[in-house]
Copies of this chain bind each other. A is one copy, B any other.
Amino acid sequence: MTIQTLPFANLISIDRTSATPIFNQLANGLTKLIREGKIRAGDQLPSSRDMAFIIKLNRTTVIAAYDELKAQGWLEVIGTKGVFVSRNLPVMNPISFKSTHSLSRNAQVLPDFYHRISFDPPPYREVKPYHLMINDGQPDPRVAPIHSILNRYKALSNRTDLHRHFLTGSPAGNASLCTELASFLSKTRALNIKADQVLVTHGAQLAIYIAASMILKPGSRIIVAELNYILADKLFEQLGAKLVKVKVDRYGIDVDQIEEICKKSRPDLLYIIPHHHHPTTVTLSAERRMKLLEIIRRYQLPVIEDDYDYDFHYNNSPILPLASAEHGGYVLYVGSVSKTLSSSTRLGYLVGSIDFIQQASRFKQLVEIRGDVLFEASVAHLFSNGEMQRHLNRSVKLYRQRRDRFCQLLTASLGDLVQFSIPQGGMAVWLLFPEEYSITELSGRLYKKGIYMNDGSIYRYSETVNGIRLGFASLNDDEMDRFAAALAELK
């Protein structure tokens, strides 16, 4: 059969504004027709002259398209007979494009070859440029030395030896950054570590993910606080682990309950945020800390210590992490540089024994090969030239003032409606509303006023809790006033 009568001009659309050359568009159109079975193996195509006439293109364009398809093996020239679709292609039945097309937007039946993810993110509402954003505890990117990082990045990318960093560096992270972090963590957290005990990650979440992936397997048991940082809970569940929940009160997680659990059967892992627990912001008391360390040693209980905002402590100096004490190598320490700079700059770290970090860096390579080494080197420079320490000093002072002002404004505008404690550190206040009060409705009313506050639904996974975390660190005085005035009016 010859198919010279097919309406090619309708079947193949040519877009003269496209970046793809026209001969390519024609070639792609023809292969699509072959794939759909509209032209089959052995079919003869119109001569280039006829095709040029049919499809209203220059003949040289058609010749270029045919040559291309011959080179790719789709078409073949048979003697003097003309151009044919290669006979080695399997014969296919035409398939309607609409019914089951590849990534069709109207597919009736979705293929179900993949797992569904149990995590339901909060509903998304459009954010306008003029919206005031109330986050749940993020730094103020406006005061962070982002420009210094970018300038350094630029300088590094002009260096002729930049290739060094790319292929042969350790997957654990840029060597200068690992060294600077080891030194910073030793000075500020008494961790007593060297560079080869630090893994740099694309955000602290990835550090938790890597550590948990290396310890848990389907069916593992992990102790978590209730309430807990929801993205950690969900990631442990995603890895197939069973959550064993332990209560948190004003002194932190209930350590006696942890011991009871270990006595019966030691779980595979404990995830804990001893410093400013998420979401409630409580700090684990010294007494419980000591007891927990004893439990860790006695039961050889592996621990992920998430210390995401250690650097921001306001009342007294921060309490040293579990990882700085005697723990037999069972405590893995996770921290964040994103919390110090801006939530856009994704940088976290994982600290452990040399062997653990070596294994973890191999795992990291399988997940993302490596980070942006020039970015990491630029942040390392911030540590080595002292700018990071100055930035930290300035922001701790600023955020302390903002915390005090924010808590005063909350009391003034919400009065007895809410319960909260002034947090000793971190970037957020944990507010509890009466059971019958709808935070979702408050969030809706604020939204209409141009203020974007989450609706608390991510904390409502426990039935008894009607709370929300409100971030103060990213709000300047004017923004706080605007938020407080709206709260007072709309509550």
Contacts and interface: CB of A to CB of B under 8 A. Distances in A.
A363 B71 contact: no
Interface in A157-192: 157, 160-168, 170-171, 187-188, 190-192
Contacts of A323: 102-103
Contact of A147 (B157, B326, B359, B374): B157
B31 A320 contact: yes
A294 B92 contact: yes
B103 A366 contact: no
A102 B170 contact: no
Nearest to A120: B362
Interface of chain A, main secondary structure: loop
A72 interface: yes
A32 B147 CA distance: 39
Contact of A164 (B127, B162, B287, B302): B127
A217 B239 CA distance: 10
Interface stretch (A16-24, A50-58, A407-415): A16-24
Contacts of A452: 168
Interface stretch (A3-11, A342-350, A437-445): A342-350
Copies in the complex: 2
Contacts of A73: 285-287
Contact of A114 (B135, B194, B302): B302
B113 A300 contact: yes
A157 to B, nearest CB: 5
A39 B114 CA distance: 56
Interface stretch (A202-210, A427-435, A460-468, A481-489): A202-210
Nearest to A73: B286
Given A320-B31, A371-B346, A331 B102 contact: yes
Interface in A246-289: 268, 285-287
Contacts of A114: 214-215, 302, 356, 359
A105 B354 contact: yes
What class of interface size applies to chain A in its complex with B? 35 or more
A384 to B, nearest CB: 13
B287 A103 contact: no
A268 B112 CA distance: 12
Contacts of A127: 164, 168
Nearest to A157: B146
B209 A368 contact: yes
A103 B343 contact: no
A18 B35 CA distance: 69
Interface in A319-344: 319-320, 323-331, 342-344
Among all A-B residue pairs, the 10 with the closest Cβ atoms: A73-B286, A129-B161, A117-B362, A235-B366, A71-B316, A113-B302, A114-B214, A133-B163, A35-B325, A127-B164
